[in-house]
Amino acid sequence: MSEDSANDSANDGADDSGTDTSGSYVEEGKSFDRDMNYIPDRIVREPEEGADPPQWPVEPGRYRLVAAKACPWANRAIIVRELLGLEEVISLGLAGPVHDKRSWTFDLDPDGVDPVLGVERLQQSYFARYPDYPRGITVPAMVDVPTGQVVTNDFPWITHDLFFEWREHHKPGAPDLWPADVREEMDEVMQRVFTEVNNGVYRCGFAGSQEAYDEAYDRLWTALDWLEERLADRRYLMGSTITEADVRLFTTLARFDAVYHGHFKCNRQKLVELPHLWGYARDLFQTPGFGSNTDFEQIKQHYYVVQTDVNPSQVVPQGPDLSGWTTPHGREQLG
């Protein structure tokens, strides 16, 4: 796996990180196609002048990660930031779980204003840099605090660069999320996880025809069966230690029974009925940085309220029972 590849592929499928904030995601008669056109700037240790896309310098305290615990793509960045111990280096602004047609908003903060950026909507940081920004207002986003301008919202590169470019600021003993000895295989695993699972649930949920849904459903469960088998004899996706691949899979598994099984019609089985995946998900949930950044109520609020073409009533279900997430997983024996 090259340090120059963040791995999530383009054009595989509008997304709940805010590419479409209207609540309309399903196109009648069509398969779901994710818009992966993000602001490509990067924050790097040694920026090159005149680089295309632009490069910004790593500077502790300069940037604010704006995210939402409801969104799986943003949840990745929140988890990685804590795993690497970057809490004192990059501040965190949290948007509420329910956005409107314009933007993610800071409903969780006093008076609905982000205390560092001084804005009510993430949209204001996008417009500070691009007054006529034509695309969706997405999380996660890295914002330059001095100017209030968005730097990048390219979520695969954000977590990639938190590891590679901010290494001097990692906490002692921070996990090696991109181990060199398995990086080539990890690249292949993350690619399949993204296309078939992370994005696969959306292809099911936002399918505009029976044929599109059937194809998406079959693809998703082929991949989940592969993962169930893979995790039968290894504790994590790449072996005995946590990697970026595990972070990327976890955020989908955490939402599976609460949202994807019913809301997105991914209902062959529940996660709790897949013994290896369920044990693996609990193992990660009970690892510092994962469960503490997983908010099931915000997750349900986001999907069931915002995605009105899938759930026009906006009724949020009370279930499922979440008590199992803290039960023993028994996977320590695998490494």
DSSP sequence for 296-317: HHHHHHIIIII-TTT-TT-PPP
Task: Give pLDDT, residue 201.
Answer: 98
pLDDT of residue 24: 64
Residues 178-182: what's their mean pLDDT?
98
In a domain, 174, yes or no: no
Among 202, 213, 303, 304, the active-site one is 202
pLDDT at position 25: 79
Q: Are residues 164 and 83 in the same domain?
A: yes
CA–centroid distance for 152 within its chain: 15
CA gap 35, 141 in Å, rounded: 16
Residue 11 above 60 pLDDT?
Answer: no
**266 part of the active site:** no
Of 115, 148, 169, the residue that ends a domain is 169
For 97, the token pair is 């779980």
284 domain residue, yes or no:
yes
Residue with tokens 């943003």: 74
- pLDDT band, very low/low/confident/very high, at 9 (cuts 50, 70, 90): low
Q: Is the pLDDT of residue 90 over 90?
A: yes
- Beta-sheet strands, E only, within the chain: 42-44, 55-57, 63-67, 91-94, 141-144, 149-152
Interval 193-236: pLDDT, tens: 999 999 999 999 999 999 999 999 999 999 999 999 999 999 99
- 123: in domain: yes
Of 169, 200, 233, which marks where a domain is finished?
169
| Shared-domain flag, residues 215 and 159 | no
Q: Are 267 and 219 in a shared domain?
A: yes
Q: Is 104 annotated as a binding residue?
A: yes
Residue 24 in domain: no
Whether residues 153 and 239 share a domain: the answer is: no
Do 162 and 276 share a domain, yes or no? no
Does residue 304 come out as left (phi exceeding 0), alpha (psi in the -120 to 50 range) or beta? alpha
CATH number, domain with residue 97: 3.40.30.10
| Statement to judge: residues 255 and 312 lie in one domain | yes
Whether the predicted model's global pTM rises above the 0.85 cut:
yes
Put residue 143 in one of left, alpha, beta given phi > 0 → left and psi -120 to 50 → alpha. Answer: beta
CA distance 202 to 13: 8
pLDDT at 254 (0 to 100): 98
Burial class (CB in 10 A: 0-12, 13-18, 19+), 50: exposed
Which domain-ending residue is among 128, 144, 169? 169
Distances (CA, A) of 158 to 165, 175, 238: 10, 17, 21
Task: Quickly state the pLDDT bin for 5 (edges 50, 70, 90).
Answer: low
Whether residue 283 sits in one domain with residue 197: yes
How many other CB atoms are found less than 10 A from the CB of residue 243? 22
Q: Residue 275's pLDDT band (boundaries 50, 70, 90)?
A: very high
Residues 188 and 295 in one domain: yes
Mean predicted confidence (pLDDT) in 70-89:
98
One domain for residues 193 and 153: no
Q: What is the pLDDT of residue 14?
A: 39
- The token duo for 192 is 């399949």
Model pLDDT for residues 144-166, shown as the tens digit of each residue: 999 999 999 999 999 999 999 99
pLDDT for residue 23? 58
| pLDDT at residue 46, as a whole number | 97
If you average pLDDT over residues 129-150, what whole number do you get? Answer: 97
Residue 71 neighbours by CB under 8 Å, 6+ apart = 16, 17, 18, 139, 140, 302
134 part of a folded domain: yes
Q: Which of 282, 237, 233, 234 is nearest to 256 (CA)?
A: 282
Shared domain for 144 and 189, answered yes or no, is no
Residue 38 pLDDT class (50, 70, 90 cuts): very high
Predicted pLDDT of residue 288: 98
Of 274, 271, 285, residue with least CA distance to 228: 274
**Per the domain annotation, does 321 fall within a domain?**
yes
Query: Do 192 and 326 have their domain in common?
Result: yes
pLDDT in tens, 276-316: 999 999 999 999 999 999 999 999 999 999 999 999 999 99
In sequence order, the 6+-apart residues with CB closer than 8 A to the CB of 319 are none
Max Cα distance, the chain (Å)? 55
Note whether 90 and 185 are within 8 A (CB). Answer: no
Over range 36-48, report the average pLDDT. Answer: 96
Per the domain annotation, does 30 fall within a domain?
A: no
**Domain range for 86:** 42-169
DSSP secondary structure letter of residue 8: P
Out of 25, 38, 63, 71, which one is annotated catalytic?
71
Asked if 94 and 204 sit in the same domain, the reply is: no
Nearest to 259 by CA among 32, 97, 78, 99: 97
The more confidently predicted of residues 240 and 14 is 240
Total domain count for the chain? Answer: 2
Q: Is 136 in contact with 14 (CB distance < 8 Å)? A: yes
The pair of structure tokens assigned to 48 is 């090159």
Domain of residue 297, CATH code: 1.20.1050.10
| Residue 26 domain flag | no
Residue 19: pLDDT over 50: no
